[in-house]
Each structure stands twice: as C-alpha cells, then as structure tokens.
Structure 1
Amino acid sequence: MRHAIILAALLGAMAAPVAAQEGTTPAPAEPRGNDVQEGLDQLSEGARTLLRGLMGEVEPRMRELAEALEAWDFEGLNLDDLGRYHPPEVLPNGDIILRRKVPLPVPPGPMETPGEDGEVEL
C-alpha cells in the first residue's frame, strides 16, 4: 500500500510542471537537452524517495534480525561439517532424514565380538 502512495506521489510530482504550464503563454523554445536533463533529475529524485521509503520499512526488520542473530551461539556450529551430509530428505510422514555421505563404521556389538579363538558367538 505504501508503495502505491509513493508511486502516486511520484507521478503527481512529474505531472505538476505540465499542469503549471497550462494557461500560460508558451516560453521560447529551449534546447531539447534541458528537458531531458530535467526529466532525469525528476526521475532520480523519485527513485531516491522510493528507496528512502523502502529503507524505512526494511530497516526495523533488519535490526530485529541482527538482534536475533547476536543471541545465537555460532561457536559450536562447524559449517565444514555440513559438507559431510547429503541434502535433507523429507519422508511422506513428515520425518526429516540427514544421511552422511560416508557412513560411520559400525562398532561391533556384544554378540559380534570375536572370542579368544577367533570365532563369533551367536
């Protein structure tokens, strides 16, 4: 909504010189370069106004985000570890699985421990 108001104000500002010229005697012809320069000046001023308005909306939210990020503990997060995993998979029931690219070795369980003679007790 705010963008529409800014755009309407910009268009109104651009139309104001035309409305001001109506009903007056035409001025002597000026070089075409002045009209173009004046138009560019108005466009740049309108763009500045638009960007100021956008910054006014975005700035408070960016400050909130910065405050929230300051509260996080990034010390324990090792981003190099992320390369060890495949992208997350979402199962149909909503579970999310993170699979390692190289599985960890499975330690032998108590039933799989070889005995003194090298045989595995079942």
Structure 2
Amino acid sequence: MKHIAAPLLALTLFAAPVAAQEEDDGGFNLMEEGARLFFRGLMSEMEPALEDLEDLAREMRPQLQAFMTEMGPALRDILEEVEDWSVYEPPEILPNGDIIIRRKTPPEDEEPLPENGEIEL
C-alpha cells in the first residue's frame, strides 16, 4: 500500500499545475463567452433604434436626392472657392431666410502683419 501511495502523491503534485492551466484557459473562455453575451445583448437593445434609423433614411432619400440635384453644383462652387473653412463661423440663418457665413475675427491680442509682410525682431 505504501508503494502505491508514493507514486499517487507524485502524480497529484505534478497534476496540480496542469489543472491550474486548464482553469486559466477556462477563465479565458468564460471571458470570451461573457463578452459575446454582452455584445449580443447590446445588439438586441440597439436593434429597434437601428431599424428606426433605416426607416428615417428611406423616408429622407428622395428629399436628399432632390437637394443634391438642385444645390450640388452651387455647393461644389463654394467648396472650390473657400480655401480654409476654419476661419469662418458656423452658418447663421437670418429671420428673412438669408444664410450668412461670417469670417471669424482674429483675437484682439494678435497684431496684424505689417503691409510689407516683414516682422521686425
């Protein structure tokens, strides 16, 4: 009986790290499964909103196509004309329906460049 106990004890000691490695792999599989379930739940929650968005896009498609047919050439001309959009304020619609895009004013603490373009140091 003592002869069987020694090899059995040795096998138990060597099997412990193997069992720990299997548990680590199992933990990773549990993490994967948890992430999978999380994203599946997220998608099921988002599905109605995505369907509403698709319906809205379907409804707006004819109006957007008409807008691009009418305004596309004018917008292309404006895009060719303006070099840097960052120097303009966002468009503003006036009560009479006019749309203005104002140039941003430079900060007051900045001095404008001299007319000859040279800066004296």
Pairwise TM-score range, normalised by the shorter structure: 0.3 to 0.5
TM-score between the two structures when normalised by the length of structure 1: 0.45
Which structure has more relative contact order (CA 8 Å, sep 6+)? It is: 1
Compute the TM-score of the two structures, normalised by the length of structure 2.
0.45
